[in-house]
């Protein structure tokens, strides 16, 4: 898993930019857990000395913050887009779902890092707080949808949000960019699933 993605063939050579370094670092965080990833491990993976690493990043916390920003900033953009702010509520939800799936596929290691945080440092706690605020924004959309009767009223908007994000977030567990499914196809499938479920039959007589 750790060797297939981000494959930085130029490990430690000139031309290794900060983003490229961050990709290697986040891989180390995901393999060992943030707490257990020493600067020694990071320097070794980058093929650099510790002091060379410190030339680019002031601390391990700064690396974490930058890595988390990739996931959180991208998700925030999705929610801040005009398509999420106005128009029929159903289309606003669709925009957010498609955007969240696209972020999951495109920022996969960074979202993985975000989802596995344990909250042991301030940086982690701030990121978890931002994640909760985004959760609440999806919940708010489901509340609006319930208010205009476009979603079922037997599933609480908070529960709908949790199950929906649970489904979307699970994508990081198995999605591989080199696999058969494009992010767009996956986004279509998730939107379809969330909207109308898996059944062909439209009857709702048993539950």
What part of residues 13-72 is at the interface with a copy of itself (CB under 8 A)?
Answer: 33, 36
Q: How far apart are CA 162 and CA 155, in angstroms?
A: 11
In terms of CB distance, is 7 or 159 closer to a copy of itself? 159
- Residue from 14, 19, 86, 149 that binds a copy of itself (CB under 8 A)? 149
- State yes or no: residue 197 binds a copy of itself (CB under 8 A): yes
Report residue 135 CA to chain centroid gap: 12
Residue 87 binds a copy of itself (CB under 8 A): no
Distance CA(25)–CA(46), nearest Å, equals: 8
Q: Do 97 and 168 touch, CB atoms closer than 8 A?
A: yes
User: According to the binding rule CB under 8 A, does residue 201 interact with a copy of itself?
Assistant: yes
Given a contact cutoff of 8 angstroms between Cβ atoms, the answer to whether 117 and 67 are in contact is no
Q: Smallest distance from the beta carbon of 56 to a copy of itself, in angstroms?
A: 28
Please state, in angstroms and rounded to a whole number, the distance separating the CA atoms of residues 195 and 164: 10
Asked whether the CA dihedral 9, 14, 15, 19 is positive or negative, the reply is: positive
Q: For residues 125 and 195, which CB has a smaller minimum distance to a copy of itself in the complex?
A: 195
Residues in touch with a copy of itself (CB under 8 A): 33, 36, 90-91, 94, 142, 145, 149-155, 159-160, 162-171, 173-174, 181, 186, 188-202, 204, 206-207
């Amino acid at each position: 898993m750790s060797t297939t993605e981000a494959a930085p063939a130029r490990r430690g050579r000139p031309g290794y930019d900060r983003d490229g370094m961050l990709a290697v670092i986040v891989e180390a965080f995901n393999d060992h857990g943030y707490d257990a990833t020493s600067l020694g491990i990071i320097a070794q993976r980058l093929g650099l000395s510790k002091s060379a690493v410190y030339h680019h990043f002031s601390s391990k916390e700064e690396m974490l913050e930058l890595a988390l920003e990739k996931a959180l900033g991208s998700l925030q953009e999705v929610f801040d887009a005009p398509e999420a702010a106005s128009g029929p509520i159903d289309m606003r939800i669709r925009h957010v779902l498609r955007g969240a799936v696209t972020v999951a596929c495109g920022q996969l290691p960074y979202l993985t890092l975000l989802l596995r945080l344990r909250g042991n440092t301030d940086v982690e706690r701030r990121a978890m707080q931002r994640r909760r605020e985004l959760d609440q924004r999806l919940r708010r959309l489901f509340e609006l949808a319930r208010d205009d009767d476009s979603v079922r009223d037997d599933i609480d908007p908070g529960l709908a949000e949790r199950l929906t994000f649970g489904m979307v977030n699970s994508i990081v567990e198995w999605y591989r960019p080199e696999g058969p499914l494009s992010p767009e196809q996956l986004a279509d499938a998730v939107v379809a699933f969330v909207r109308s479920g898996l059944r062909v039959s439209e009857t709702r007589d048993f539950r």
